[in-house]
Chain A
Amino acid sequence: METFLFYIFAALTLLCGLLVVANPLSRNPVNSAMFLVLTIASLAGLFVLLHAFFLAAVQLLVYAGAVMVLFLFVIMLLDLKEEERRKIKWLGLAAGLVSVAAIVLIGARSIYASQPTGVASAPGVEGGTVPLGKLLFTAYLLPFEIVSVLLLVAMVGVVLLSKKELK
């Protein structure tokens, strides 16, 4: 059952990821954003299969909820009608494909060469709220506080950037 679910979620993730990048039917950014939501949701499914329950919930809430709403707001704020008329540059596309294929080759060879020996049910780490929260408020307390400062700085920066006149 778990194997079956893994293949379903993995296929869904990769298919929707492909449709984010290269949708043959439409080059509208709204479609890309919708497929990105699907990709993120199926990644949350993979997180559940990895017993990272808290992260799956955070992934759905923060990414599929907050971040994608922000994306959709900006896409609809900018009127991107003229984007669909541009022609594809085949030479640049071919060069990009070749370089990405080279990187995939390097990654695949490194995965193949390292021969990971993990067994599916060996250690049994449960990523529930309680163990993750304990770790977050003991060993990772300082990074946690720094991240809160970072969020504040980002918020101030966004407010400053969004003002009508940059000074």
Chain B
Amino acid sequence: MTIGLEHYLVVSLLLFSLGLLGVVARRNLLVIYMSLELMLNAANLALVAFSRFNGHLDGQVMVFFIITVAAAEVALGLALIVALYRKHRSAHVEDLATLKL
């Protein structure tokens, strides 16, 4: 049987749910951040699959922008995590319960 759009969508859905599970269940700030990357990658896979099976390249351009913005977001987020760690000496979400830095 040939691989259709739905196969890629199922993989994307499962990868997204794994990322969501990581965000919900894990309590290490860095692992939560990696799970966010998993969710972004799942969305990328769905967009590329749509682009392939609908005959437009626009989905791939969108993925290009997502990758760029994700790189910027990772740099900023990790800088924030390092700044938080300097203040609280912990990267565990339960130790970071206050809004003030």
Determine if B1 is an interface residue (Cβ-Cβ < 8 Å): yes
Which residue of chain A has its CB nearest to the CB of B25? A96
Contact of A46 among B11, B20, B33, B37 (CB under 8 A): B11
Give 27 A-B contacts (CB < 8 Å), ordered by A residue. A3-B2, A13-B11, A20-B31, A21-B18, A22-B25, A29-B30, A43-B41, A46-B8, A46-B11, A52-B60, A52-B63, A58-B67, A67-B37, A86-B92, A96-B24, A107-B16, A107-B17, A115-B6, A118-B5, A120-B4, A121-B2, A135-B58, A147-B68, A151-B68, A151-B71, A161-B80, A161-B83
Collect the chain B residues with CB atoms within 8 Å of residue A20's CB. Answer: 18, 22, 31, 34-35, 38
Main secondary structure of the interface of A (DSSP, over half): helix
Contact A111 B6 (CB under 8 A): yes
Contact A55 B13 (CB under 8 A): no
**Chain A, interface residues (CB within 8 Å), range:** 35 or more
**Chain B, interface residues (CB within 8 Å), range:** 35 or more
Contact of B70 among A29, A67, A92, A136 (CB under 8 A): A67
- Distance between Cα atoms of A74 and B91 in the complex (Å): 11
Collect the chain B residues with CB atoms within 8 Å of residue A96's CB. Answer: 21, 24-25
Determine if B3 is an interface residue (Cβ-Cβ < 8 Å): yes
Contact B18 A17 (CB under 8 A): yes
